[in-house]
Amino acid sequence: MTDNPLRALPAIDTLLHDAAALVERYGRPAVVTALRTTLDQTRAKLRAGEAVPADQAAILDAAAIRLARDFQPTLRSVINATGIILHTNLGRAPLSDAAQAAITQAAANYSTLEYDLDAGKRGSRLTHPERALQAVTGAEAALVVNNNASAVLLILSALAHGREVIISRGQLIEIGGGFRIPDVLAQSGAHLVEVGTTNKTRLADFERALTPAAALLLRAHASNFKQIGFVEAPPLDGLAKLAHKHGALLIDDVGSGALLDTAVYGLDHEPTVQESLAAGADLVAFSGDKLLGAPQAGIIVGKAALIDKLKRHPLARAMRADKLCLAGLIATLDHYRKGEAVTHIPVWRMIAAPLDKLVATAQAWANEIGGGAAAQVIVGESLVGGGSLPGATLPTVLLALDVPNATDFAAKLRAADPPVIARVADRRVLFDPRTVLPAQAPILTKVLYDLYNS
């Protein structure tokens, strides 16, 4: 025996002999690194006079904890109990079963991404989503890029570089992540021409600004704010007629990508892509992962001649969507083509969820966790979120838990596996059944039961 605890530390080879399970799970290189780091830290503590466990079992346990932490992904599935349907921080639109299956197929196999089976030679990835987009929007042509910010930048770069773009002052917006319309215009090489005032812009304001240098009129979706009260904006069909009269284009950035009428479900009416095209917009740009309910994408639909010009622009390749996005997008669009969007796309299923079903679900949760009087079902409001329909709410019910410390309880929920994201208000923790996916409901109630009754 030696009095020097450092000499009693096991060697790496000795530790590896009993670390077979860790090697199988994490791989030998990662296990060796974890063991060495653990040994180094143990030596440092022993030299500092700390009384720390230094036997083989303790070293292996510490290395296992380190490996589990290091391999814990930061991009994780969570349970969204906030009631915000398109929660930007939680990944916006969850995908339908069909979209998930399509993505898995595209990921697991070789595909016809850029291969023409009939011709037996190279094809184009741009053709795959175009037919479905033409079918659901009625547009002449379509192009998909990686997000709507890219779509707007590509349009401006390809169609307005060095020329003027006219936009209402009320639409010089900034959305999440510091995306500002004036900055995008500057980046594209177009020249911004502001018309009207913050709250009122008329057709006459646009007409006075139109010169031979004007390439297009741009209408930008207000995203996550709205103006109320003493406000005025010209109708889209009026803008289209005015633009075309002067040889300019009308571009409509509708943002949310609504293909269905939100007013049917008790919400404010969100302008649809089809309405913009019918009003005379030459190109319409929108997101894939908002009200469309698809993967993140920027979608441009409209006149074929303009879409062809965008496809040939150098930025189109830099902004192109990958095969997984295209597979999920096409599967999502097929739901619209089949008339089954409300029943198959999670975003629309949540929006259309009947109140009586939400009441029954929340009450079942309260009963399952055994909270008694401390678990109440109360009325509340859900939000669409994601920059869509700002301020618009849907009536819902909430499971409200009275706990000693709501903030601490919410933190424990976030530390669960999978993490649960809930609301805290009036010293209670609130859970909205509208945004909890059906397959996750049993997991949620088990997490709540374990935490509430611990």
The tens digit of pLDDT for each residue in 98-128 reads: 999 999 999 999 999 999 999 999 999 999 9
Q: How do the domains of the chain map onto residue ranges?
A: 5-70, 79-87+348-452, 95-344
User: What pLDDT is stored for residue 374 in this prediction?
Assistant: 87
Looking up tokens 């290189």 gives: 29
Give the rounded distance of the alpha carbon of 174 from its chain centre. Answer: 18
Q: Does 225 score more than 70 pLDDT?
A: no
DSSP annotation string for 115-150:
EETTTTEE--GGGTTHHHHHHHH--SEEEEES-HHH
User: What pLDDT is stored for residue 453 in this prediction?
Assistant: 86
User: What pLDDT is stored for residue 201 in this prediction?
Assistant: 86
User: What pLDDT is stored for residue 5 in this prediction?
Assistant: 78
User: What pLDDT is stored for residue 405 in this prediction?
Assistant: 95
Supply 303's token pair.
């006149």
Distance CA 316, CA 145 (A): 7
Q: Confidence band (pLDDT; 50, 70, 90) for 231?
A: confident
Q: Does 175 score more than 80 pLDDT?
A: no
Give the rounded distance of the alpha carbon of 220 from its chain centre. Answer: 20
Is the distance from CB of 31 to CB of 24 less than 8 angstroms? no
The tens digit of pLDDT for each residue in 252-272 reads: 999 899 999 999 999 989 999
User: What pLDDT is stored for residue 200 in this prediction?
Assistant: 87
The tens digit of pLDDT for each residue in 420-434 reads: 999 999 999 999 999
What's the rounded mean pLDDT across residues 87-96? 96
> What predicted TM-score, i.e. pTM, was given to this entire model?
0.91
> To the nearest whole number, what is the mean pLDDT of the chain?
92
Question: In the CATH scheme, what architecture does the domain 79-87+348-452 have?
Answer: Alpha-Beta Complex (3.90)
The tens digit of pLDDT for each residue in 361-413 reads: 999 999 999 878 789 999 999 999 877 777 789 999 999 999 999 999 999 99
The tens digit of pLDDT for each residue in 201-224 reads: 899 988 999 999 999 999 987 755
What's the rounded mean pLDDT across residues 238-248? 96
The most distant pair of C-alpha atoms in the chain lies apart, rounded to whole Å, by 97
Is the distance from CB of 313 to CB of 150 less than 8 angstroms? no
For residues 15 and 178, the model is more confident at: 15
The tens digit of pLDDT for each residue in 13-55 reads: 999 999 999 999 999 999 999 999 999 999 998 888 888 888 8
Q: Confidence band (pLDDT; 50, 70, 90) for 1?
A: very low
Question: Hey, do 79-87+348-452 and 95-344 end up sharing a CATH topology, with the first three levels equal?
Answer: no
Distance CA 413, CA 398 (A): 16
Fold (CATH) for 95-344: Aspartate Aminotransferase; domain 2 (3.40.640)
> Distance of CA 384 to CAs 133, 178, 295, 391, Å?
24, 21, 17, 9
> Distance of CA 259 to CAs 208, 272, 273, 294, 332, Å?
34, 5, 6, 12, 12
